[in-house]
């Protein structure tokens, strides 16, 4: 028997909170006859010693993802401690926080989708919900504790015949359903004497174990039930550096700690300007020019710079999930401000709101297709929202690209472009025009790339899955057998080819590419091909990728750059044959590879760009300085320059040129 009873810590929601919650409707999804998810690795996630059961259930829910996500126990305890819920929490409070501030893991954060209440007394509704993801319960824990103790806390316990108990104090999760005998077989245990194996039951997680509970017992001890859709959203590190070319100017734009966008730009000489005026607090650097002084909403991340016609757009997310767009109109030589989506209303009093798009959950991407400008993002329901401007008629429009879980439009009445794209988006949004097509690619919960694409010639929307052994959406074509995506989706065009490039769980860079037919190649070698028999482009590139993937054509070369574990930039590049070079660092990660500059280690925000006949590998170092390793095609020489001077402390690398010495605001993490 366990030495002690494990802790509890759930606080039941008020009647008013439950009544106000949006309900889950079983009509959305037909449930299969049986279903279960059993993660390979379980944990208490702190709930043996602490009353963090509500947080522990969140970690279990992430483990039910495919591919599986294991949150270390210390990380769950740290999250609960940071949020003040180590010994007690409301379920809805934790789920709300998890929508925007989930479990961090390097450059990725694992968030929740939006939640709905589930009627646990209706077996059809509850089965439908469980088939979509683990259902979070608030229950009375006394009888369950005794059942758990009966197997010494090991999986395979049976909870039957419970009486009604309203002392609600514990949080658990339902991850399967079916006849009790079927569930027992999935868990590798026998149905005990006196239990009718033909009766329906549920698989329940609690305290580092999964057991079986019959239907009447669930009804007897449950106070509330919740489904998150999707269960897990992978939120990448916010984009806090963007390098762009506007007319014949090169702009290095970054986010400072006060929520202002600093723009160091070169147009024959170096200049500094501040794009917005966060909280009306004025210039971060004394005396600098503020371009859009009326833009008083602080930037919270998601920066994207995009040139459209003769306009320069500096877009960013504010804390309300609204897109602020500070844009410069060349013909009138004037800075303007507009809010792209409505969210919960205008953040800046009096500013123009262009569409009634819902709040942004992540993945802002701004692009141009023909005479249209598109501001595209993921909302909390896993739908891709597209706020777009038609230059031909001067009108703004809103469309939803996919239909997450078949639940319909997030905004009542809006057009759904690809209604058969029912896989919810969990991250990785990338928009890429190709020939006369416009591709909206995103990641689903299975690590597969869903590509909703518009064919301008046929005026038709289409759906394809780029990687994977089987389709997430029944009947959709799967174009390559690339492995699951772990992160860093990047879609690009080179010559007459389109490339969907990403990092897999082995630290290998996979490239699914189309050039009249579909192909799969692995860019770096790592420890060998992830997919048996696939072509490995750069066999000498043995350093695994840990993040920062960026693809950039330069002249007649294709460069696939990524970060290794040492903070060095590995660059696999093709010019008819494949080569390897390390862009920064004192010593090579891969023995014998050339190191092009002595730039310091990368702390984040790798951005690769082309300006004139130069290629620039720009990133943030640990001191908050922007390092720029750049190649001059005119003379074939590599150079290193520092763009800003964080805190006026001088060059990170002794003797390097500081381009904008007056830019003393550090770049943020």
* Model confidence at 150: pLDDT above 80: yes
Is the pLDDT confidence value at 139 over 70? yes
Q: Which single residue is written with the structure tokens 């050039």? A: 515
Cα 353 to Cα 375: distance, rounded to the nearest angstrom: 13
The per-residue pLDDT for 28 is: 46
Torsion sign, CA atoms 316, 317, 323, 324 = negative
* DSSP E strand boundaries for 525-648: 535-538, 547-554, 557-563, 569-574, 578-582, 604-611, 614-620, 626-632, 637-642
**pLDDT band, very low/low/confident/very high, at 546 (cuts 50, 70, 90):** confident
Q: Is the pLDDT assigned to residue 3 strictly greater than 60?
A: no
Assess whether pLDDT exceeds 80 at residue 4. no
pTM of structure: 0.76
Q: Residue 62: which of 134, 127, 156 has the closest Cα?
A: 134
**Tokens of residue 615, six digits:** 């290629």
pLDDT tens figures, 550-567: 999 999 999 999 999 899
| 422 closest CA partner among 235, 229, 175 | 229
Q: So what's the pLDDT on residue 235?
A: 65
H helix or E strand, kind and range, residue 100 = helix 91-100
Higher pLDDT, 459 or 29: 459
How far is residue 271's CA from residue 124's CA, in Å, rounded to a whole number?
64
What SS3 class is residue 136? strand
Please give the structure tokens belonging to residue 637. 């020489």
Looking at residues 76-88, what average pLDDT do you find?
95
The model's pLDDT over 301-340, given as tens digits with 9 standing for 90+, comes to 899 999 999 999 999 999 899 999 999 999 999 999 999 9
What is the topology classification, in CATH, of domain 10-234? Cathepsin B; Chain A (3.90.70)
Please, which pLDDT band fits residue 1 given cuts at 50, 70 and 90? very low
Please give the share of the chain, as a percent, with pLDDT higher than 90. 85
Q: In 73-221, which ranges are E strands? A: 89-90, 103-105, 108-111, 114-117, 135-140, 158-159, 168-179, 200-206, 209-214
For 279-425, where are the E strands, in sequence order? 289-290, 301-308, 311-317, 323-329, 334-339, 352-353, 362-369, 372-378, 384-390, 395-400, 415-416
What mean pLDDT is predicted for residues 7-21? 90
Q: pLDDT, tens digit, for every residue of 568-579? A: 999 999 999 999
Q: If residue 498 lies in a helix (H) or strand (E), which one and from where to where?
A: strand 497-503
pLDDT for 156 beyond 80: yes
Q: Where are the domains of the chain?
A: 10-234
- pLDDT at position 30 is 66
Longest dimension (CA), the chain: 86
Q: Does residue 351 register a pLDDT over 80?
A: yes
What number is the average pLDDT over the span 580-599?
Answer: 97
Share in percent of the chain as helix, strand, coil (round to 5): 10, 40, 50
- Average of per-residue pLDDT across 477-483: 97
Please report which confidence band the pLDDT of residue 391 belongs to, taking 50, 70 and 90 as the band edges.
Answer: very high
């Amino acid at each position: 028997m366990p030495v002690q009873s494990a802790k509890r810590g759930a606080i039941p929601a008020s009647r008013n909170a439950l009544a106000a919650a949006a309900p889950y409707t079983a009509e959305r999804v037909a449930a299969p006859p049986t279903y279960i998810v059993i993660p390979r690795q379980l944990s208490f996630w702190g709930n043996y010693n602490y009353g963090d059961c509500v947080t522990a259930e969140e970690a279990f829910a992430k483990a039910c993802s495919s591919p599986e996500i294991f949150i270390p126990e210390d990380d769950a305890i740290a999250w609960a401690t940071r949020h003040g819920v180590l010994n007690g929490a409301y379920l809805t409070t934790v789920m709300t926080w998890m929508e925007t501030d989930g479990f961090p893991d390097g450059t990725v954060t694992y968030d929740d989708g939006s939640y709905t209440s589930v009627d646990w007394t209706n077996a059809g509704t509850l089965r439908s919900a469980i088939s979509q993801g683990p259902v979070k319960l608030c229950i009375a824990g006394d009888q369950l504790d005794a059942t758990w103790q009966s197997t010494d806390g090991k999986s395979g316990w049976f909870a039957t015949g419970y009486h009604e108990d309203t002392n609600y104090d514990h949080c658990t999760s339902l991850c399967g359903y079916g006849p009790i005998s079927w569930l027992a077989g999935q868990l590798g245990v026998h149905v005990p004497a006196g239990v009718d194996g033909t009766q329906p039951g549920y698989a329940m997680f609690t305290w580092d174990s999964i057991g079986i509970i019959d239907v009447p017992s669930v009804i007897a001890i449950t106070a509330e039930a919740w489904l998150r859709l999707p269960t897990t959203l992978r939120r990448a590190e916010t984009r806090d550096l963007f390098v762009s070319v506007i007319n014949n100017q090169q702009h290095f734009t970054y986010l400072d700690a006060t929520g202002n966008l600093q723009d160091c730009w070169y147009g024959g000489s170096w200049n500094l300007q501040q794009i917005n005026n966060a909280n009306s607090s004025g210039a971060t650097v004394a005396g600098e020019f503020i371009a859009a002084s009326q833009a008083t909403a602080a930037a919270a991340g998601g920066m994207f710079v995009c040139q459209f016609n003769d306009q320069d757009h500096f877009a960013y997310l504010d804390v309300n999930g609204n897109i602020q767009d500070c844009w410069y109109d060349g013909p009138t030589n004037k800075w303007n401000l507009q809010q792209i989506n409505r969210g919960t209303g205008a953040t800046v009093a009096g500013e123009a709101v262009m569409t009634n798009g819902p709040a942004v959950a992540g993945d802002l991407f701004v692009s141009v297709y023909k005479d249209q400008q598109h501001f595209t993002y993921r909302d909390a329901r896993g739908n891709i929202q597209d706020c777009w401007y038609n230059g031909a008629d001067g009108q703004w429009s809103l469309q939803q690209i996919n239909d997450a879980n078949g639940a319909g439009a997030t905004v009542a009445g809006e057009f759904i472009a690809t209604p058969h794209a029912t896989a919810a988006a969990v991250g990785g949004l990338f928009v890429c025009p190709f020939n006369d097509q416009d591709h909206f690619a995103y990641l689903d919960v299975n690590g597969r790339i869903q590509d909703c694409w518009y064919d301008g010639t046929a005026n038709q929307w289409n759906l394809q899955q780029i990687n994977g052994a089987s389709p997430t959406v029944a009947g959709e074509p799967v174009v390559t057998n690339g492995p699951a995506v772990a992160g860093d989706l990047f879609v690009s065009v080179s010559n007459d080819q389109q490339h969907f490039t990403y990092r897999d769980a082995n630290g290998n860079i996979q490239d699914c590419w189309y050039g009249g037919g579909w192909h799969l190649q692995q860019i770096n070698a790592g420890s060998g091909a992830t997919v048996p028999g696939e072509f490995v482009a750069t066999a000498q590139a043995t350093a695994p990728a840990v993040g920062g993937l960026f693809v950039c054509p330069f002249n007649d070369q294709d460069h696939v750059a990524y970060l290794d574990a040492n903070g060095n930039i590995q660059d696999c590049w093709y010019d008819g044959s494949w080569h390897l070079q390390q862009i920064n660092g004192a010593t090579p990660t891969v023995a014998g590879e050339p190191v092009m500059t002595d730039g310091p280690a990368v702390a984040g925000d790798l951005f690769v760009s082309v300006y004139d006949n130069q290629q620039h590998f720009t990133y943030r170092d640990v001191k908050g300085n922007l390092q720029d390793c750049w190649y001059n095609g005119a003379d074939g020489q590599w150079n290193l320059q520092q763009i800003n001077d964080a805190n006026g402390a001088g060059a990170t690398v002794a003797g390097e040129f500081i381009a904008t010495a007056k830019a003393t605001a550090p770049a943020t993490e």
